[in-house]
Amino acid sequence: MELLIILYLAVVGLVFGSFFNVVGLRVPLKQSIVRPRSSCPNCKHMLTSKELIPVVSYIIQGGKCRSCKAPISPIYPIMEFVTGFLFAITPLIIGWSNELLIAYSLISLLVIITVSDLAYMIIPDKVLLFFAALFLILHIYPGGLHIIDSLLGALVGFGILLLIALISNGGMGGGDIKLFAVLGLILGVKLIILTLFFSALYGALLGSLFIVIGVAKKKQPIPFGPYIALATLTAYFFGERIVNWYFGVLL
């Protein structure tokens, strides 16, 4: 029975992942997320229901538009798959509780900002404001952070990133700074600091790897949102165990 529920959550995640692609690509351009229907950016062919099946349509069409044969960005199926995967494994990590509502909301935010940051190097304020309000509301439910730790987490996240931006003379984008403030509402003080550490670590390691394999160039501006997203998931799912292990070794 549990396996069927996990499979169901994976399918739901795939569908939501497709929607999050739309949100991440349209909101920065101030376009409606409802109309018009999705179309090929090259030939403007209106996509049919058969062409909108998450991941599957991309594979069947060979990664190309059925009308003009222009290549389709792999970001679409990748983010759909990632969302489906995260929706499926989350209950296995944190259990079946009210915390799932918080976890899925956090995953939704991270997928949307990753898409928008990869596409435009922008993290939309409208998305951040929506999720900031949602995260505050979720504190009503059992399992959420204490509101004081939540607000302090937002303040610490915003303050540290702002300080880094000032010291680095604009090396940190305004969207990243505001994103850390919103993430602090869910993570609290301890885990937002851990998220900052892992963001820098992933950025350094993966950024160097991308330069080595030729995906990125030195001194080329890169979107930092995906690294923050990966770091946030690490801290949210495993942060308490990491902190306990660290202090266990230290003491």
Collapsing DSSP states into helix, strand and coil, what is residue 53? coil
In the block, residue with structure tokens 């939309």: 124
In the block, residue with structure tokens 């090929």: 40
Reference 182, options 125, 240, 220; nearest CA is 125
Rounded to an integer, the average pLDDT of 203-224 is 79
- Alpha-carbon separation of residue 76 from 18, 56, 182 (angstroms): 7, 11, 25
| Residue 202 token pair | 């992933």
CA distance 121 to 51: 27
For residue 155, count CB atoms less than 10 angstroms from its CB and return exposed for 0-12, middle for 13-18, buried for 19 or more: middle
| Residue 224 token pair | 């930092």
Max Cα separation, the chain? 63
Where is average pLDDT lowest: 35-49, 198-212, 225-239?
35-49
Q: Please report the pLDDT score of residue 68 as a whole number.
A: 87
Question: Between residues 119 and 138, which one has the greater pLDDT?
Answer: 119
**223 cis-preceded (ω within 30 degrees of 0):** no
**Residue 192 in contact with residue 153, Cβ under 8 Å?**
yes
| Residue 214 token pair | 């030729």
pLDDT tens-digit map of 1-58? 788 999 999 999 999 999 999 999 999 999 988 887 887 777 877 887 888 889 999 9
Reference 151, options 119, 184, 183, 129; nearest CA is 184
CA distance 179 to 168: 18
CA distance 93 to 90: 5
pLDDT tens-digit map of 120-143? 999 999 999 999 999 988 875 555
CA distance 229 to 251: 30
Question: Between residues 247 and 175, which one has the greater pLDDT?
Answer: 175
133-142 residues labelled b (16+ CB within 10 A) or e (exposed): ebbbebbeee
Cβ neighbors of 118 (< 8 A, separation 6 or more) are 75, 223, 225, 226
**Residue 56 in contact with residue 76, Cβ under 8 Å?**
no
The amino acid present at 129, given as its one-letter code, is L
| Residue 240 token pair | 């308490």
Does residue 74 surpass a pLDDT of 70? yes
